[in-house]
């Protein structure tokens, strides 16, 4: 009588373990992807073109801030 319930519990535990392993592998893959993207961003930000265009991006940011300030005063 107790044997089927043990088998059922064992099967549930095996399914749970498999689910957790899958979740762990997905988490690790996501972490690798994040690390890869961080590396790509660092590479891009250290490029000459990124450094050369920095003043243009700064001007654009300041322009947007000014536009927001002016539109909020209306």
Domain around 58: 2-72
Q: How many domains does the chain have?
A: 1
pTM here is 0.62
Q: Rg (Cα) of the chain, in Å, rounded?
A: 27
Summarize pLDDT for 49-67 with one digit per residue, the tens: 999 999 999 999 999 999 9
Summarize pLDDT for 23-43 with one digit per residue, the tens: 999 999 999 999 999 999 999
State the Cα–Cα distance between residues 74 and 68, nearest whole angstrom.
Answer: 10
State the Cα–Cα distance between residues 53 and 21, nearest whole angstrom.
Answer: 45
Helix boundaries (H) for 1-74: 2-45, 48-52, 54-72
Q: Count CB neighbours of 65 within 10 A.
A: 10
pLDDT surpassing 70 at residue 12: yes
């Amino acid at each position: 009588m107790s044997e089927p319930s043990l088998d059922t519990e064992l099967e549930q535990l095996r399914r749970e373990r498999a689910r957790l392993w899958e979740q762990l592998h997905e988490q690790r893959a996501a972490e690798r992807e994040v690390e890869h993207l961080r590396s790509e961003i660092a590479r891009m930000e250290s490029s000459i073109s990124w450094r050369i265009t920095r003043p243009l991006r700064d001007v654009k940011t300041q322009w947007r801030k000014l536009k927001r300030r002016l539109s909020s005063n209306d």
